[in-house]
Structures are given as C-alpha cells and as structure tokens.
Amino acid sequence: MQLSEVAQALDFPIAEGFDQVEITSVSFDSRSLEPGALFIPLVGENDGHSYIQSAIDHGAVATLWQADHADLPTLPAIVVEDSLQALQKLAKYYLMKINPKVVAVTGSNGKTTTKDMTAAILATTFNVQKTFANFNNEIGVPMTLLAMEPNTEVVVVEMGMDHPGELDALSKLVEPDVAVITMIGEAHIEFFKERGKIADAKMEITHGLKEDGVLIYNGDEPLLRERTQNLIQETRTFGLAENDELYAQDIVSDAQTTNFRVANFDQVLTIPMLGAYNVNNALAAISVGLLYQIESSQIMAALKNFQVTENRTQWVSGQDGLRILSDVYNSNPTAAKEVLAAFSQVPTDGRRIAVLGDMLELGDDAPEMHASLAEKIVGDKLAVVYLYGSLMANLAQKLRDQGYTGQIHHYPKEEQTKLIADLQQDVTGKDIVMLKASHGMHLENVLTALKA
C-alpha cells in the first residue's frame, strides 16, 4: 500500500511524494518495527511519539502524528486528531478492501484455543489470517486486520473485553460474518458484579454481526440461550447436551490428548490437549467449519494437528525429565477447576504438584472464589500444592479446614524467589507439575526456572 492510499483512507490531503512511499507493514512498537513500516505512535502509559527516532532507526518510512504533538518528524507524516482512532479507521478501510469473511471469537475462557482450532480447520480450504497470540483488544484487533495478506479469504479475530461497550466497538469495527461465544465464566467479574452482566457484554459481539450472519454459542449456558431469543440472525448451538445442535459424547482424556465423538462424524475425533473442557472449544471450531462446508475428514485432521498458542495449557519439558503443564497466561475459578480436574487424572510415576497463583479481577467475591478451588484438590490425587499470592491464603485455609492430606506451601507475592528455590529443591524428574495463575502473578518465571 502506498502512503497516498493511507492518506486517502484517513481523509488527509495527499502531499507531494506520498505516492512514492511504499508501506509494507504497520507497527505501534518502534522496537519490533520492520523496514518499510508505517509507525503509529499511540498515547498510553508511554507516549509513542517519544520513540519516533527509534522507529526511524529501525526503518520506518512514514508515521501518523497526533495533532496535539508539536515538532513534526523528518519523515513523511499524516497528521490525525487521535492516533488510536486513526489506526482503527485504517484497519476498517483495509478490511473493506481485502473483503474476507470474518469470524469473531469471544468468551470468558477458551477464546485463544478456539481461535487457533477454528483457523486450523478453515486453513484446510481457505487462505486464513488469525489473531497473533492474544492481540484481542482495541489495538490488537485492528493490528490483526492490517496484518492480512492481500489474498486472505477468512480472518479469525479473537476479541477480549473487561468492560461494557468494548465488544460493541470491536464488533462494529470488524462486522463479523460469524460470531462465536465459547462460554460465560467469572473473568472480570470485579467490573461486572454478576455473570448476567458478563453475558450481556459478551452478546455485544452481535452488535456488528451482519444481518445474514450466524451466531454460534454454547447452548449449555442458560444466560446465552435467554439472550438469543430475539436475535434476527441465525443461531447455532454446541455443547454436551443432546438438545445442542452439535454435541459431544464419549469423552476420554489422557495426558496428551482428548478423544470424543460427534454425530455425523464416522470416527472418533482427537485434539492434542488434555481436559474434557477443551472439547467445547473444539465443538465451537467444528461448528464454524461445518458452516463453511469443510469436509469432516479435513476437520478431524486439522484438530488432531493444530498448534496451540504458547502458554495455553501445554506440556513443557523440565530438568531431569520433569513434565510441566503450563497455563500461566490467565486464570479464573472455572478455568482453574477444569485444569485441576484434568491434571488430577494424569498418570505419573511420581507426585502431582500444583502451583496456583492468585486469580485477579474477581472483586469482593475473590476470597470465596479462591477457597472454592478446594473442591478439586484431593490429597490422593494432588500430593503437594504451592500457593502463591495473598488471595491464595483463602485456599490454603480451606484445604486445612477440610482435612486435605497433602502438603501445603503458601508464599506472599514478594516471595517468588523463595517459591522457585523451594520448588527446585522439591521436584524430581518423576513428578508432574501444573502452573496456573493470572498473568499478573508472572508464573512464567517459575516455568523458566523449572525448565533450566
């Protein structure tokens, strides 16, 4: 794309020489910017305008520049009132230019896995672009759109939110052909106070859904069934109940894989992940595949071999043969209980050890919600629990009260170094270790230490 086209998309006068500047990528981070990029300095905790020289040094050929900032840089610049709004406007223009089908995915849990599964299935037939990592907010979604190759036929966009109105804006930006809601949990309940309001916010993904679009949602969630009654678009459900349009049966999970059956599929389906809870994510992706008339054999092959985004419930090898189940990106009560239940069934010659960190953004109910994890922790299944963070003290007390027979270790947040040292001293190559916490607890540091 030439800079003159960018200017036209943003209603900026085309200056002399703009048609000679070729834009090969877009970046808001001067550190990872590639030569030929359009630099978009965003204003947040740090002001991106302060890093214009770094962007130039890394090869930026043009920049957007917010009008309230003086001292225009030396390279070609398009002046805008708000650089974030300009980023979104440019992304909308590019989306309309490429004109792919848009699949938007949201939900309290399972967004990233469902996005990865959906993209893998669709890629058997179409040229597919998907959200990188978890770039799922007001910045990440437009960056996903602008990363599309010109031949993109379907873009799979993950959408996150932590306040009302966020999905409304993102949905209207991408105008999905298909919207997917994986489930309603307790994530961000600090800001919503109740699950019903979380469901209302998740339903905002339909606000930009095309009139002939389709909403695919978890039919086992009454809060979603209630809220889809008056939707004008087509709806399809998935889940574990027979009244769902697509439902799974005969679920069997081991350490590495989960197998299940679905009506209309002659053979057992396999996903390379432990945990029956991941079957719902697969069902959502299968529903999208069937909607786009992907052959069942292609769906099965894609699911069996898909690659999960890093730090999303994956096995990692540690020292001396240690196996680590890493899920350190995020946590909430529903997700933590599901992973604990699955981990407790994994065969091992040694001990099962769970390392659990605080679950953030749970509001006034946080103490009770942390304590509730005790229902999934049994001494003959989990030999040792390492609890990290002030909120996990509630779980430690609950375990003691209910007579948990395993070992309990608890550390305040400032003692991560001690936690790591004690873990390294305790674990053996025969053990298996599970890591689960909100990202703000930084259990990735524990993972790095155990891998060393």
Helix (H) or strand (E) holding 309, with range, is none
**Whole-angstrom distance, CA of residue 41 vs CA of residue 68:** 12
Q: What is the DSSP string of 126-177?
A: S-EEE--TT--STTHHHHHHHT--TT--EEEEE---SSTTHHHHHHHHH--S
> Is 110 assigned to a binding site?
yes
**Whole-angstrom distance, CA of residue 432 vs CA of residue 212:** 48
> Is 109 assigned to a binding site?
yes
> Is 107 assigned to a binding site?
yes
Going by C-alpha positions, the residue among 255, 450, 220 that lies closest to residue 346 is 255
Going by C-alpha positions, the residue among 343, 346, 334, 361 that lies closest to residue 440 is 361
Q: Are 211 and 179 in contact (CB under 8 A)?
A: no
**Whole-angstrom distance, CA of residue 339 vs CA of residue 313:** 8
**Whole-angstrom distance, CA of residue 270 vs CA of residue 302:** 10
What letter would DSSP give residue 358? P
Q: Which residue has the tokens 């769906």?
A: 299
**Whole-angstrom distance, CA of residue 30 vs CA of residue 60:** 8
> Is 348 assigned to a binding site?
no
> Is 394 assigned to a binding site?
no
**Whole-angstrom distance, CA of residue 83 vs CA of residue 138:** 12
**Whole-angstrom distance, CA of residue 444 vs CA of residue 327:** 9
> Is 171 assigned to a binding site?
no
The terminus-to-terminus CA distance of the chain in angstroms comes to 45
> Is 363 assigned to a binding site?
no
Binding-site positions for ATP: 107-113
Which parts are annotated binding residues? 107-113
